[in-house]
Amino acid sequence: MTRMLTLVGVIALGLIAGGCGPSEQQGSQTGQTGAGGGATADQAAGQPSAAARMVAATKQKVIGASLLTKTHVFYQDLSAAMEEEAKKLGYKLIIQYAEFKGATQNSDIETFIAQGVDALVVAPCDSAAIAPVIGEAQAKGIPVFTVDIAAHGAEVTSHIASDNVQGGRLIGEYLAKLLNGKGKVAIIDHPEAASVQERTSGFVEALKKYPEITIVQRAEGTGQRDKAMLAAQDVLQANPELNAIFGINDDSALGALAAVEAAGKQDKILIVGYDGIPEAREAILAGKALKADTVQHPKEIGRKAMQVIADHFTKKDVPKVVPVAVDIIDAAKLKAESGK
């Protein structure tokens, strides 16, 4: 009798163990801890499980970028540095180029929003008009970072760019000295871009120290060489006694140079630019009417943009503005750099 009772007890214990085993094993595999595979506290509260959170943390981050153009050397260098740094960080970077078209840029950004990218990088075509679509991204929880050109009316996570106000001051001061403190100056402008507004602000500020220097015209050149050349031709025609031109980027300066040379005024009009692209450097070294440039460092901007995004992903505080230093190049400096 005792043996029979003992046997029955062993069988009962075995059945109990057999009934619990699979549920506990299943709970271990799925991250559940409740008896019989019940819901965890996280799931009951509508939160992802620990396993799901781990997968999300290790998922490759996807960054969408909408840049102004691919035609400028500046943006070619900037995007190349972004791609290189993104690869080092293990991010997938998708770049679209708006080619100065605001509607194209808005459409590209809306596509990135629909795709659910982890972050957006934007160099706006129009600093004011970009605000609504940036707001759309932020409403979906997508952090937005601007590079080179700031957005107006939208508070982004961080803005990474050259110190354009200082760059404008530097080139304005340089030109004032070339003019010996007096003369008539024109600007080949592009006021839709915040970075240009900053450059011209610094430039005008520098020239205000010289009462005998006057800015006689600001002509829209859109930052594109062919349109800048046409704008410069109109400026030359309207201002026969013009002494100097400031091109807000190197395509504007080189467009102005073409107009000045076509008019045979290369020995009468001084030109200064902004960017420091190879073609501008060659013109400066050759002794042409283009005398100096504020030089930017687009590769540094691209690298820093990715690094700031990485910091944001890891919950570090990031600065609202990350300025990148600028400098002046002229023939003397370029000759010293090349050892000539």
pLDDT of residue 26: 33
* pLDDT beyond 50 at 85: yes
Q: Which of 21-25, 162-166, 212-216, 232-236 has the lowest mean pLDDT?
A: 21-25
pLDDT tens across 65-77, in order? Answer: 999 999 999 999 9
Write down the pLDDT at residue 59.
Answer: 86
Buried/exposed code over 121-144 (b: 16+ C-beta within 10 A; e: otherwise): bbbbbbbebbbebbeebbeeebbb
Tell me the pLDDT band of 41, cut-offs 50, 70 and 90. very low
What is the per-residue pLDDT for 58?
56
**Least confidently predicted of 38-47, 158-167, 177-186, 284-293:** 38-47
Distances (CA, A) of 190 to 15, 70, 100, 164: 82, 18, 11, 14
What does pTM read for this prediction? 0.74
pLDDT beyond 70 at 308: yes
- CA dihedral in degrees (5, 6, 12, 17; nearest 10)? 170
Residue 153 has a CB neighbour count (10 Å cut-off) of 12
Classify the C-alpha dihedral 258-254-172-238 as positive or negative. positive
- Which has more pLDDT, 14 or 176? 176
Please determine, for residue 48, whether its predicted confidence score (pLDDT) is greater than 90.
no
- Do residues 167 and 202 make contact, with C-beta atoms less than 8 angstroms apart? yes
Phi-psi sector, 220: left (phi>0), alpha (psi -120 to 50), beta: beta
Q: What is the DSSP letter of 220?
A: E
Contact 75, 69 (CB under 8 A): yes
Q: What is the pLDDT of residues 105-146, one digit of tens each?
A: 999 999 999 999 999 999 999 999 999 999 999 999 999 999
Specify the DSSP element, H or E, that contains 165. helix 164-178
pLDDT at residue 9, as a whole number: 43
How confident is the prediction for the chain on average, in pLDDT? 87
Domains of the chain: 59-162+299-324 (3.40.50.2300), 164-295+329-338 (3.40.50.2300)
Q: Tell me what the mean pLDDT of segment 259-272 comes to.
A: 98
Of 241, 252, 270, nearest to 195 (Cα)?
Answer: 252
DSSP code at position 34 = S
**pLDDT on residue 339:** 77
* Residues β-bridged to residue 218: 187
In this model, does residue 40 exceed pLDDT 90?
Answer: no
Axis-axis angle for helices 250-262, 278-285 (nearest 10): 40
